[in-house]
Amino acid sequence: MNVAQLLGDKGHDVFSVQPHRTLAEAVRTLAERRIGAVVVTGADGGLLGILSERDIIRALAQSGPAALETPVSRAMTAKVVTCRTQTSIDELMEIMTSGRFRHVPVLENDRVAGVISIGDVVKYRLAEVEAESRAMRDYIAMA
């Protein structure tokens, strides 16, 4: 299983925000879309960063409620680790574990073609483990 197949199942929706928008606007997008991170893109759609709920918490802890009026560019992580559609799910788990983050944008021809969250990976792994256990039970029943 690779990222292309996982995106085929979950969809290619990408929720993004521009860097000059405020954290309050980004918070609204996170809440409305029920997601934990948005990619930050420029007017040309190029990837500039990623902003997760953790970045917003950090900004609030540092500056208090005034942080909500500051631009996304100040709180986002600019050095984004991305993957490709050919990346395997095992590789993706390794990337998330070693980087200690829960979101990875998928790049295709320099464009963000989707975002995989740790929730998507866990869902896929659970289905895989269940299928393995079902196959094992069927095998034992036949013996």
Chain residues that interact with ligand AMP, rule: CB under 6 A: 36-37, 50, 52-55, 77, 80-81, 101-104
Using the CB atoms, write b or e for 117-139: b if 16+ within 10 Å.
bbebbeebeeeeeeeeeeeeeee
Q: Closest CB to ligand AMP among 102 and 111?
A: 102
Q: How far is the CB of 127 from ligand AMP (least distance, A)?
A: 22
| CA distance readout (Å), 121 to 56, 59, 112, 143 | 24, 28, 18, 33
> H helices of 11-117, where?
23-33, 53-63, 72-75, 89-99
- Identify the three-state secondary structure at position 17: strand
Q: Of all residues in this chain, which one has the CB nearest to ligand AMP in the complex?
A: 52
- Per the structure block, which two tokens stand in for 1? 């299983």
Q: Closest CB to ligand AMP among 105 and 124?
A: 105
Q: Closest CB to ligand AMP among 52 and 124?
A: 52
Q: How far is the CB of 71 from ligand AMP (least distance, A)?
A: 15
Enumerate helices (H) and strands (E) in the chain, giving the number of each. Answer: 6, 5
Q: How far is the CB of 75 from ligand AMP (least distance, A)?
A: 8
Q: How far is the CB of 26 from ligand AMP (least distance, A)?
A: 11
Q: Closest CB to ligand AMP among 101 and 124?
A: 101
